[in-house]
Amino acid sequence: MAISTPPGRGGIGMVRLSGPHAAEIAKGLVRLRAPLEHARARVAEIPDPESGGRIDEAVVTYFAGPNSYTGEELVEIAAHGSPVILDMLVRAALRAGARLARPGEFTERAFLSGRLDLTQAEAVRDLIEAQTLYQARIAAEQMGGALSRRVQPAKQKLVELIALLEAGIDFAEDDVDVAPDEDIVTRMDTIAAELEALARSFEHGRMVHAGLRLAIVGRPNVGKSSLFNRLLERERAIVTAAPGTTRDLVTERLSLGGIPVELVDTAGLREAVDEAEAIGIRKSHETLAEADVVLVVLDASAPLREDEASLIARLEGRRALVVRNKCDLDGGAEAREDLVAHSIATSAVTGEGLGALREALAELVRNPAGESEAGLLTSLRQYEAVEGARASLSAAREAVGRRIPHEMLLLDLYGGLRQLDGLTGETTTEDILNRIFSTFCIGK
């Protein structure tokens, strides 16, 4: 039993009970105007424990197991969102024999009863924590079993290969044909290719789930803070004509292409003039090294400096974008077009080029070409399970080349199967369950 709505006051507050005595306990908390019926809402009164009179009205909804979220008997009492009323209901339920739910226990029970697999359970948490519509859309697909469906073909092929080798061992005396080594290797390569494509989805899935960090870097007074404010569409960072105004990291969140982005305005990169600026510049270099995306800002009206060219060269191969800011100044629009290829001319003053900059940044965080968005790996746990299965297949393939008996080969194949089972939760450990569901909010 737990309060399933956020803490604080609101129009509606909900208390949820699940288990074999949920309906019995709920009946003692309210005065129903009609008997409970599966999937039907019932109006009820909440009695004052002291006077016995009505203190609130509620809507009570009953779900009979196994056709409920948890797969058990489930009751939801929706009252007005007064913390006093909800606390009174919780205390009364505890006196009647209920206990408080652990974080994520309702979803854990849904998993244990077979209503959800582990990837769907994780998607419930992702949907609750979604900050953008795109995140919510991906989480909804995962809740619908998109990842499980994507894993299933590779898993089925692995099961068929295991069955083939087992048959060859068990019925060797009956001259049952076993596929030649070339066929076994071909089957393994097909499975490995599907798992490799799934593993590649983690790069985008991780960004969808956790977001990314975008660092704005460059020399002092090139317009980094002005661009920062323009991207946020509000005055967040202090902007002055004096170089070195930004001494510390300034961070804010926004959405690019549906991906949550932590935008970081950094101190200008130059020789520090005092200790405070030196600390800020050191933080800028650390942020530059850790950022998922880097926006290098240049002054379009000044010559390209050697340290700027060196910085751009160091970012080769990373998600990075070069901006020639101050293109509104005399000669600024053309000043560096030949020196810095594939850069974008902008003016934080006039707004010129800001649309092109936003589109280019969205392109940098967009899903890689050819990668399916149906069934992404969104957590490190999922990625490690797929990588474990790939490692087992690689070991099995090597064993075939070394003419190792199929009995030993099967050990690696079964290891890969266990990894895929652990991905969806068909075989898992209590430690994994605790690690996953402890990150949920209470009441879900």
Note the pLDDT tens digit of each residue in 43-99. 999 999 888 899 999 999 999 999 999 999 999 999 999 999 999 999 999 999 999
Q: Cα–Cα distance between 393 and 383 in angstroms, integer?
A: 15
251, β-bridge pairs:
264
For residue 407, pLDDT over 90 is answered with no
Provide the pLDDT confidence category of residue 273 given band limits of 50, 70 and 90: low
The residue type at 340: V
Q: Quick one: DSSP state of residue 174?
A: G
Candidate CATH numbers 3.80.30.20, 3.30.1360.120, 3.30.70.260, 3.90.950.20; the one for domain 2-112: 3.30.1360.120
Tell me the CB-side half-sphere exposure of residue 37, using CA atoms within 13 A: 7
pLDDT reported for residue 207: 87
How far apart (Å, rounded) are the C-alpha atoms in residues 289 and 276? Answer: 20
Task: Report which of residues 239 and 165 the model is more confident about.
Answer: 165
Note the pLDDT of residue 200.
Answer: 92
Cβ atoms of 2 and 22 within 8 Å: the answer is: no
Position 333 scores a pLDDT of 46
Q: Is the pLDDT of residue 338 over 70?
A: no
Of the candidate CATH numbers 3.40.50.10490, 3.40.50.300, 3.40.50.150, 3.40.140.10, the domain formed by 210-365 belongs to: 3.40.50.300
In this predicted model, which residue has the larger pLDDT, 137 or 329?
Answer: 137
Q: Which residue, 362, 357, 332, is CA-closest to 342?
A: 357
Burial status of residue 290 (CB atoms within 10 A of its CB: 0-12, 13-18, 19 or more): exposed
Q: Which is more confident, 246 or 120?
A: 120
Task: Please indicate whether residue 189 or residue 316 has the higher confidence score (pLDDT).
Answer: 189
* pLDDT tens digits for range 216-233: 998 888 888 888 888 887
Within 8 A by CB and 6+ apart from 63, the residues are 38, 39, 69, 73, 74, 75
- Which of 5-9, 28-32, 224-228, 229-233 has the largest mean confidence? 28-32
Mean pLDDT of the chain: 86
Q: What is the pLDDT of residue 335?
A: 45
Phi and psi for 324 in degrees, rounded to 5?
Answer: -95, 90
**pLDDT at position 349:** 85
Would the pTM of this model clear 0.85, i.e. be above it?
no
Q: Is the pLDDT of residue 182 over 60?
A: yes
Domain 146-207+375-437 belongs in CATH node 1.20.120.430: yes
Mean pLDDT confidence for 159-186? 75
The residue ranges of every structural domain in the chain are 2-112, 146-207+375-437, 210-365
Percentage of the chain surpassing pLDDT 70? 89
Q: How much is the pLDDT for 109?
A: 94
Name the residue among 96, 103, 101, 112 with its Cα closest to residue 21.
Answer: 96
- The yes-or-no verdict on residue 173 having pLDDT over 60 is no
Mean pLDDT for 93-108 is 94
pLDDT at position 4 is 93
